[in-house]
């Protein structure tokens, strides 16, 4: 994680000094920023899983993932503010490294490194090594992981496209309404970036807290509650997305109301999705699972969705190239792809709900040292100390029950 964060900070800083004639260097630096970020975010949730179990793990995972929408929202505000204040867009890229240095110091001096699965085995951990190929085979056969990863990908596709295009869409809606004289393009787009960023921060905090609370309330009563909540969140956001696209041409304030509702419903899923992965995958394979899920989610989700929406909008705009009104409508029609993907994501989460109870049971039994669990790929052989630790843990659990 320290190595990944260093790459993240150095490349983010370097990218802000690239001149116009070396655009390819900027692209390379931004790609390496993603590499550094990914090497950090694949490991961090697994350490949380190794330190906590049950409800406490859900709370800690929520605290970790709440900063995804919060950081995204603050990015709109701080980036626009710094660019406007300094007159230089490069300063928008320099704030993250400045803040990241503090995170690096905290990581070096205060982050523990517990044994894999320590919380679930009362500190003994699960230490049996496995090859990367074995890990992938195990994950591909884990139906809950596969279907939830497809759901995460759908969610990333939707949120990536909306986050990228929404300030521009709102500005074009304002132009469509005839208010373009009120401010120039840059000022109007910055204004919408501020508002959209503030809404994203608020909905991120609210959505993650509500999602975590719903998960804790229903998980003990309904064994497959988590993916069902995710499906409801995705499906509930679809009408909000449709209303956003078609009400923006008449009322920007009403549009922001439904942006708030839609983003809140989507943010329900962040802590739950992380928790699902952690309890359906055995400890020694969680980092690989995180890496694969993040890779698939970005490659097929938010890495391409803004570009795809832009391509569709450009293709539609050729029908009336000189019309500002059609510029708004072409983007609106291209964004209709997102509600469709939202419905698809809800279906993926409902499919997850069919398998999650069994997959969770198998992962738990493997972690407890049962090498002959049906459907396990592969088996885990624990040493004498691990077996004794599991026996104590099992006895303690029976007494508590």
Per residue in 188-200, pLDDT (tens digit) is 666 777 788 888 8
- Report pLDDT for 142: 95
- Fold for the domain defined by 134-383: Growth Hormone; Chain: A; (1.20.1250)
pLDDT digits (tens, 9 = 90+) for 21-33: 899 999 999 888 8
Contacts for 286 with CB less than 8 Å, ≥ 6 apart = 45, 46, 49, 116, 277, 278
Cα 222 from Cα 105, distance rounded (Å)? 42
CB 312 within 8 A of CB 334: yes
Q: How does DSSP classify residue 224?
A: T
Residue 349 scores a pLDDT above 90: yes
Residue 368 scores a pLDDT above 90: no
Q: Which two tokens stand for residue 166?
A: 């929404």
For the chain, give every domain's residue range.
134-383
CA 37 to chain centre: 13
pTM of the model: 0.78
Q: Which two tokens stand for residue 214?
A: 């719903």
Q: What is the mean predicted confidence (pLDDT) over 31-39?
A: 84
Q: Which residue has the tokens 């003994």?
A: 124
């Amino acid at each position: 994680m320290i190595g990944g964060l260093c790459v993240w900070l150095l490349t983010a800083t370097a990218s802000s000094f690239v001149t116009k004639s070396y655009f390819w260097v900027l692209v390379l630096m931004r790609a390496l920023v993603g590499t550094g970020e990914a090497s950090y975010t694949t490991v961090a949730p697994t350490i949380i899983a190794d330190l906590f179990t049950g409800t406490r793990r859900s709370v800690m995972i929520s605290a970790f993932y709440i900063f995804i929408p919060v950081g995204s929202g603050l990015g709109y505000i701080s980036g626009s503010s710094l660019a406007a204040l300094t007159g230089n867009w490069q300063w928008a890229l320099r704030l993250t490294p400045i803040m990241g240095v503090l995170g690096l110091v905290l990581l070096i001096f205060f982050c523990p490194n517990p044994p894999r699965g320590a919380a679930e085995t009362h500190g003994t951990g699960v230490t049996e090594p496995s090859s990367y190929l074995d890990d992938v085979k195990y994950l591909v056969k884990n139906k809950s992981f596969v279907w939830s990863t497809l759901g995460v990908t759908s969610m990333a596709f939707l949120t990536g496209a909306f986050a990228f295009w929404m300030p521009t869409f709102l500005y074009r809606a304002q132009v469509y309404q005839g208010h373009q004289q009120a401010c120039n393009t840059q000022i109007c787009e910055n204004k919408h970036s501020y508002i959209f960023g503030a809404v994203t921060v608020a909905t991120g905090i609210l959505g993650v807290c509500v999602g975590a609370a719903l998960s804790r309330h229903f998980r003990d009563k309904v064994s497959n509650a988590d993916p069902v909540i995710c499906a409801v969140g995705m499906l509930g956001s679809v009408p909000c997305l449709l209303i956003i696209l078609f009400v923006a041409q008449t009322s920007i304030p009403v549009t922001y109301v439904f942006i708030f509702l839609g983003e809140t419903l989507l943010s329900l899923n962040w802590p739950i999705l992380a928790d699902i992965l952690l309890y359906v995958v055995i400890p020694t394979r969680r980092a690989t699972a995180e890496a694969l899920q993040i890779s698939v989610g970005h490659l097929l989700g938010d890495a391409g969705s803004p570009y795809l929406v832009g391509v569709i909008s450009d293709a539609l705009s050729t029908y009336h190239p000189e019309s500002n009104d059609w510029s708004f409508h072409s983007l609106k029609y291209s964004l209709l792809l997102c509600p469709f993907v939202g419905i698809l994501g809800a279906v993926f989460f409902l499919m997850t709900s069919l398998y999650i109870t069994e997959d969770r049971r198998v992962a738990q039994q493997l972690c407890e040292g049962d090498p002959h669990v049906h459907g396990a790929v592969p088996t885990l052989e624990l040493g004498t100390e691990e077996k004794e630790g599991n026996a104590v843990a099992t006895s303690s659990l029976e007494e508590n029950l």
